[in-house]
Amino acid sequence: MILKHIERQVKKNVFLFETRVKTDVNYFINLINEKLKEKNLSYRTNVKGDMTDWKAFNNDKKLHTTIQDTFSLLSKHYQFNDMQFKDSWGIRKKFSDNTIEHDHQTAHLSGVLYLNDNSPELIFPELHITIEPHCSTLVMFSALLNHFSPPNKSKDPKYAIAFNLENKVAGDI
């Protein structure tokens, strides 16, 4: 017996930050290529391209430093509590690879660090925003935002690290 059934849209505040960071992109590209030789999730997730294991970069000190530096920069705009990596994976999209529309609602904060200038762009349909990938650009956004990338039209691969962050306290969001 159903006691209550409610369906309605609920407005929620969301955020999106785009910034440039100082990071060793060659280090990350080489690491993605190495990790793709190990356990990977290529073509088995929303990423219809090469993808490392979900937690491939969770303990990477260079990625942690990059994210912490960005938190410091953004702290005057948004209060980041004690956050930890829930997931962080490398992406290599070759010609015609894409990412289907999805969200990361099990996390609090999601992001992507672009490691080269190759297309395709990252599209947020609910915000009517398109992010052009540029080397060392870091985009962080509310995990509940839908996003996708159309097929890569370049013969050169696109490299990125995507991640989800959660509050340290028992994974609370």
- The domain that contains 154 carries what CATH number? 2.60.120.620
Residue 6 maps to a domain:
no
Alpha carbons 55 and 155: distance in angstroms, whole number:
28
162 vs 74: CA distance, rounded Å: 19
Our CA dihedral for 163, 164, 167, 172, rounded to 10 degrees, sits at -160
Assigned domain for 151 exists:
yes
pLDDT along the chain (173 residues), means of 10: 82 90 96 95 96 97 91 74 89 97 94 94 96 96 96 96 85 44
- Examine residue 120 and say whether the peptide bond preceding it is cis (omega within 30 degrees of 0): yes
Q: What gap in Å lies between CA 138 and CA 136, rounded to an integer?
A: 6
Decide if 122 contacts 147 (C-beta within 8 A).
Answer: yes
Residue whose token pair is 């990477």: 60
pLDDT the model gives residue 42: 94
Look at residue 168 in the predicted model and tell me its pLDDT.
76
Residue 39 half-sphere exposure toward CB, CA atoms < 13 A: 5
CA dihedral of 36, 18, 164, 128, whole degrees rounded to 10: -100
**What is the rounded CA–CA span in Å between residue 14 and residue 142?**
5
Whether 101 maps to a domain, the answer reads yes
1 in any annotated domain = no
Is 56 contained in some domain?
yes
11 domain residue, yes or no: no
The pLDDT of residue 37 is: 96
Domains: count for the chain: 1
Per the structure, the complete domain to which residue 39 belongs is given by 21-167
The pLDDT assigned to 70 comes to: 86
3 state DSSP class of 128: coil
Q: Does residue 8 lie in a domain region?
A: no
Residues ≥6 apart with Cβ < 8 Å to 125: 101, 146, 147, 148
Q: Is residue 2 part of a domain?
A: no
